[in-house]
Amino acid sequence: MDERLLKATLSLPFCVCNIMTWLLLFGAAIHLISLYYVRKLSNELPIGVNRKSWHLLGVLILFFIAGYLGFYLMKRGTHYSKPEMLVPLIFFFGAIFVLMVCFLAYRTTKELKRVVMLEHETLTDPLLGIFNRRCLDRRLHDEVLRSNRHNLSFSLLLIDVDYFKKVNDTWGHQIGDLVLRHLVEILEGTVRQTDIIARFGGEEFVILLPHTQETEAYKLAERLRRNVEHTPLMITVGEKLEELRITVSIGCSCLTTDDTPYDMLERADRALYQAKQTGRNKVVRCEGHETGCS
């Protein structure tokens, strides 16, 4: 009985040594898994400070792995004292902590990205990639409130593609979609970065012009009209390339005292109707702009 107890006592240090060794090796393996999530997370982030910070964390994890393996090599074949037994335990649970942080950060980033994409889809037109009517109503409401509160100038343009139904009937809806994309490209290339382009519905578009007086809005509308008129869309018909030229009619409205978003849109719509009724391919200012618009 004493001999068995002696053998068990002698084998205990070797058992402890094996446990400590496996804790170190498993800890290093867990850090390798953490590196996988660090790499995936950094790929989800845009180039910048945050991405560089996660790359730095990846480098630190590599140093941790080297420390684990270094401690393992240093203690290989030797016994662990009681204080030294704490080191593999701390290393192991530290590795689990790092893995959980990296995994949760990756999952959180994915979820935030999904939420942003869903929000983007609810606010943008799927065909053209610009703001949709829902977003337009919200932004117009905010801009009118802000401009009235701080006594700022504000204008908007209501744009309609001339004879768009004829384009669809003649060339088909696919060409009609190309025409709308072509128009949006011209609009985006002409307006300022602070201006807001939105699809109002069908072939109608609205451009919000913060800090813009009516005279400046009219000049911008004329520039837009000319750019559209003089920038044909090249389409393929059979084996030939043909020019498809379009024009737009534009109604220009500006903010007056105590205006509501509906008031501005209504005046712009009346101006657009007048432009279409008097020959199309023209810009018409809102009624009373000489005295009512700032």
DSSP 69-112: HHHHHHHTTSPPPHHHHHHHHHHHHHHHHHHHHHHHHHHHHHHH
Burial 22-50 (b: 16+ CB within 10 A, else e): ebbebbbebbeebbebbeebbeebeeeee
| pLDDT value for 12 | 40
| pLDDT value for 288 | 54
| pLDDT value for 146 | 92
Do 111 and 144 fall into the same domain? no
Q: Give me the domain span that covers residue 55.
A: 2-123
d(CA 41, CA 35): 10
Tell the residue number behind the tokens 């105590």, with chain if given: 258
Tell the residue number behind the tokens 């100038």, with chain if given: 153
Do 204 and 104 fall into the same domain? no
| pLDDT value for 176 | 93
Give the helix/strand (H/E) hosting 241. strand 240-244
Q: Is the pTM of this model over 0.75?
A: no
Q: Let me know if residue 137 belongs to a domain.
A: yes
**pLDDT tens per residue, range 238-247:** 778 888 999 9
Do 153 and 118 fall into the same domain? no
Do 271 and 142 fall into the same domain? yes
Query: Helices (H) and strands (E) in the chain — how many of each?
Result: 9, 7
Residues with Cβ < 8 Å from 207, sequence gap 6 or more? Answer: 156, 157, 159, 187, 191, 195, 196, 197, 198
The residues pairing with 198 across neighbouring beta strands, listed in sequence order, are 131, 206
Q: How many CB atoms lie within 10 A of CB 183?
A: 23
| pLDDT value for 2 | 45
Do 91 and 59 fall into the same domain? yes
Catalytic choice (119, 185, 203, 243): 203
The residues pairing with 285 across neighbouring beta strands, listed in sequence order, are 252
Q: Let me know if residue 128 belongs to a domain.
A: no
Give the helix/strand (H/E) hosting 158. strand 154-161
Whether residue 203 lies in the annotated active site: yes
Please name which of 198, 159, 38, 162 lies closest in space to residue 103, comparing C-alpha atoms.
38
Specify whether the CB–CB gap between 214 and 285 falls below 8 A: yes
| pLDDT value for 65 | 85
Q: Let me know if residue 186 belongs to a domain.
A: yes
d(CA 124, CA 111): 20
| pLDDT value for 195 | 95
Q: Domain total for the chain?
A: 2
Q: Let me know if residue 251 belongs to a domain.
A: yes
Tell the residue number behind the tokens 């701390």, with chain if given: 90
Do 258 and 140 fall into the same domain? yes
Do 164 and 273 fall into the same domain? yes
**pLDDT tens per residue, range 15-30:** 656 777 777 788 888 8
**pLDDT tens per residue, range 170-180:** 888 999 999 99
